[in-house]
Every structure is written in C-alpha cells, then in structure tokens.
Amino acid sequence: MLATASFDQVLIGGLGHPYDDLIAARLESQGASSKTLGEFDADALARGRRVLPKGQCAPALYTTGALLRAASQAHASDTLAFVSPQSCGPCRYALFADAWRRSLRRSRVANVTVLGLDHSPESLPAFIDSELGQHVVQCLAIGDALTATFRRLLPLAERLEQLEGSYRNAARDIAKSIAAGATPFAALHEARSWHREVAFRHGEISARVGLVGDPWALHVDGDGQVNAPRRLALLGIETVVPPSLLWLAYQLWLAPLEWGQQRASREVEKAADTQLHRLQDALATAHRAAEIPDQPIPAVAELARLASPFIAPTLRGGYGFIEVGLALRYAMHDAMDGVLSLKSFGCVPSVGVSDAVMPSALRGAVPFLSIEVTGDPSATRESRLMLFAANAIDHRARSGARAELALHAPELR
Ligand code: SF4
C-alpha cells in the first residue's frame, strides 16, 4: 500500500465520479481517512486558471483547482496526501505533479504531499501486480460496469433526473460497502438492481454514438466531458464510451516497446501479458456482478492494426492510435451512427489526431464531430453538438432500423 499512514487525510482525484469515490472507499477500508477532490466543475477550472500559466491542458487546470479547493477546506493543522495519476495519457506534454506542487507553494498551502501514481508503461506491470494496483483495477472495473449500465439506460429514462439520482445513490452505497470492508465486486452485486424503481419508456433509441478523445475527457463525468452523454440522451441517443481499463491495457501494450531490443523486453512482454489478462478478468467479473452482458476491453492489437494506415502505432501522446482505431471500429464493426471526439482544452496530441487524422481515416463513413472542452464558448459547442446529433439520427434513419440496436430497458434488469 501507499505510505499514507502518517497523514491525517488522503485526497483522491484524477478520473472523477464514480472512479475516485470507489478508490477512496477502498483506501478507507484499509484504515486511511480518504476523500475525493469533488466535482471537476467551473469553480475548479477557474481556480486552476488563477494559479497555472497559460497553455495548460484541461485536466491540469481542473485537477489543480479542485486540489486547492479541497486543501483549503481541510483543517489548517491537518497533514494531507494527494494521490492521483500523474498525467492523463502516456503524455509528455503534461507534468501534473510539478504543476500541483508549484501551485500549492504559490497558494501557500503547505500541508499537502503529492504522491503521484506512476502508471508509465515501464512501471505499470509491477504496479498492477501490487496490492494497491489490484485495488485500483477492481475499482476501475466496477466503475466501468456501473457507468456502462447508466449510459445505456440514459436515453430510455422517462426523466433523466430520476435515473441520475438512482445512479448517484448506487455509487454512494457501493462506496459505503467497500469502505466497510466488502470487495468491490460484492458491493456492486449487492447494488445491481439500482435502476429498478426508475421509469423507462419502451421503444428504440434514436441513434448510437461512440465517444473518442484523450483519456481524461473520455472518462471524467460532467463539465470536463461537456455533459455529452446527457445532452445526447435528451434526444434519445445512446453514448458508448470505452472502459477506463482500456487506458491501462494500452499502456501495457506499450510496455515492451519501451525496452526496444533489450533482452529485458521479453520479460516485460510476459509481465504485461499477465496483467492484461488480469484486467480482462476484472472487467468480466464486474459485468457478472452487475448482471449485464460481458463487453471485453477492445483488443489494443486490433485497434493498432485498424489505425496503422493513418497513424504510426509507436507515436506517443494522449491516446495515440487508440482514438483512430476505436473510431474505425465504431464505424466498421459496431454499427454506430456517429463518432464524437472530445478533446481537452490544450490537448496537443488529441487535437492533432482529431483534426488531421480522423477525417481521412473515417472518410465520411459516419457523422464525425470533434469538440474542444473549455469553460467558455458553450453556445457554439451546443449548436455544433445539436447539428451532429441531427446527422447521427439521420444516418440511422437512412441505414434502416437495425434490430440489434433495439434496446429495451428490461433487458438490463
Ligand atoms: S493527453 Fe492531452 S489532456 Fe492528457 S495530459 Fe496530455 S496534453 Fe493533457
């Protein structure tokens, strides 16, 4: 485990709700007093902007602002540890831990120690093998199962607020059970009928859209994701997001490449392969616990093969070729009616992929839109999102009603 025992409180932040809450609960069950950074909202963004230099990407701004806010709410004499991934991709553009330390110093918050989680390809196999790594993987897996169920049901809910309330309550109950000592899978299984009281309409969704983007924008709930799943659900559109575990699988896939031709690369490849199976097992166990159909982590090698005519798989930064491979898979195999790319503000790698690579890779096969996540031009974003939604619904109508997309809420119960 992390050396958190000497701190009064551990702050967890990085992926937002429900992932951070579940990981905090797991640390709580090990005896550490833990809490999350709270919402990555406009207030967190404004606080981050006040202390960081221009040109920082959205995750750096949101997490820094939320960290300063959480630290300011603690008792002045408390010592705090902050545990978080150190960037949102295999990304050489963002040095989050340095930004956090500098901002804490500048804001004269002296009582926070940053304990960044090293999830680089070189260190990841050993991290997943550790006790803490297993906790994190299990929490990510049940978070993926919970959010996948939520997003599938969202366009079918008669009142979105009712489903959202039940989902939040379920995440809170699961976190409470974990903090009390239940395993993440047992806690999820116990809460698997969380949507039972929600009213659903019967009928088909109007379209299904696949999300791509940098890892942070894909998984962070709320403003950081421009609330895209909710906005599209209001038009009856289902949003499909890859599991967060794909991010770890991608970095495991990169691990042997880091070692080049060295003899050690074979060992690393073996270790990465073992941990990859662990990720798949964890996700399958979470799906069984939630009693939803199994959806394995997309195979990284397949995504590399699909993307390689358009982007070199060895190119690093953001989600690298994963964005392109996923978009092609959505369009070719998954019968999606559109691909929506969410780019964190200031994310150089993702801008390059969505603006320069994606249009030629998709070649108009499905409607495509890329939106940059900022706190500002919301009206422009809204109208572009609506235009994209209209195109996706039209694409569906033109390709005929496909029976396999007819989703009825009771199937998930
Ligand atoms: S991938 Fe993009 S959003 Fe993520 S840390 Fe790098 S620059 Fe920032």
The distance from CA 341 to its chain's CA centroid, rounded to whole angstroms, is 14
Atom of ligand 1 nearest to the CA of 60: 8
282 vs 245: CA distance, rounded Å: 9
Q: Cα–Cα distances in Å, from 46 out to 55, 94, 166, 190?
A: 14, 19, 30, 39
49 vs 65: CA distance, rounded Å: 8
Q: Are 91 and 317 in contact (CB under 8 A)?
A: yes
Q: From the CB of 56, is ligand 1 less than 6 Å away?
A: no
- The β-bridge partners of 157 are 200
Atom of ligand 1 nearest to the CA of 317: 1
Q: Which residues neighbour 353 within 8 Å (Cβ) at sequence distance 6 or greater?
A: 311, 318, 319, 323, 324, 341
Q: Cα–Cα distances in Å, from 410 out to 3, 152, 228, 229, 378?
A: 45, 12, 24, 21, 35
CA 89 / ligand 1 centre spacing (Å): 6
Q: From the CB of 115, is ligand 1 less than 6 Å away?
A: no
What residue owns the CA closest to ligand 1's atom 1?
A: 318
Burial readout 285-307 (b: 16 or more C-beta within 10 A, e: otherwise): bbbebbebeeeebbbbeebbebb
320 vs 27: CA distance, rounded Å: 31
CA 397 / ligand 1 centre spacing (Å): 36
295 vs 173: CA distance, rounded Å: 24
pTM across the whole model: 0.87
CA 190 / ligand 1 centre spacing (Å): 36
Nearest residue to 250 (alpha-carbon basis) of 396, 365, 408, 88: 88
Q: What is the DSSP annotation of 206-250?
A: SEEEEEEE-HHHHH--GGGGTTHHHHHHTTTEEEE---THHHHHH
Q: What is the pLDDT of residue 378?
A: 57
CA angle 224, 286, 319 (to 5 degrees): 40
Report residue 296 as tokens. Answer: 């394995």
Collapsing DSSP to helix, strand or coil, 124 comes out as helix
Atom of ligand 1 nearest to the CA of 214: 1
CA 186 / ligand 1 centre spacing (Å): 34
pLDDT in tens, the chain (413 residues): 556 667 889 999 888 899 999 999 999 998 888 999 998 888 998 999 899 887 778 888 889 999 999 998 888 888 999 988 776 655 645 578 888 888 888 888 868 888 766 666 667 788 888 888 898 999 999 999 999 999 999 999 999 999 999 999 999 999 999 999 999 999 999 999 999 999 999 888 999 999 998 888 888 877 777 788 999 999 999 999 999 999 999 988 887 776 665 555 677 777 788 889 999 999 999 999 999 999 999 999 999 999 999 988 887 777 889 999 999 999 988 789 999 998 887 777 777 787 788 888 888 889 999 887 765 555 556 656 666 776 678 778 777 645 444 444 444 43
Phi, psi of 312 (to 5 degrees): -70, 125
Q: Are 34 and 24 in contact (CB under 8 A)?
A: yes
DSSP 353: I
Q: What is the pLDDT of residue 401?
A: 47
Q: Which residues neighbour 79 within 8 Å (Cβ) at sequence distance 6 or greater?
A: 6, 7, 8, 9, 111, 113
100 vs 394: CA distance, rounded Å: 45
Q: What is the pLDDT of residue 182?
A: 96
Domain ranges of the chain: 1-120+202-262+298-413
Q: From the CB of 350, is ligand 1 less than 6 Å away?
A: yes
Q: From the CB of 216, is ligand 1 less than 6 Å away?
A: yes
Collapsing DSSP to helix, strand or coil, 310 comes out as coil
CA 373 / ligand 1 centre spacing (Å): 12
Task: Specify the DSSP element, H or E, that contains 83.
Answer: strand 80-85
CA 86 / ligand 1 centre spacing (Å): 11
Q: What is the pLDDT of residue 391?
A: 67
What residue owns the CA closest to ligand 1's atom 4?
A: 88
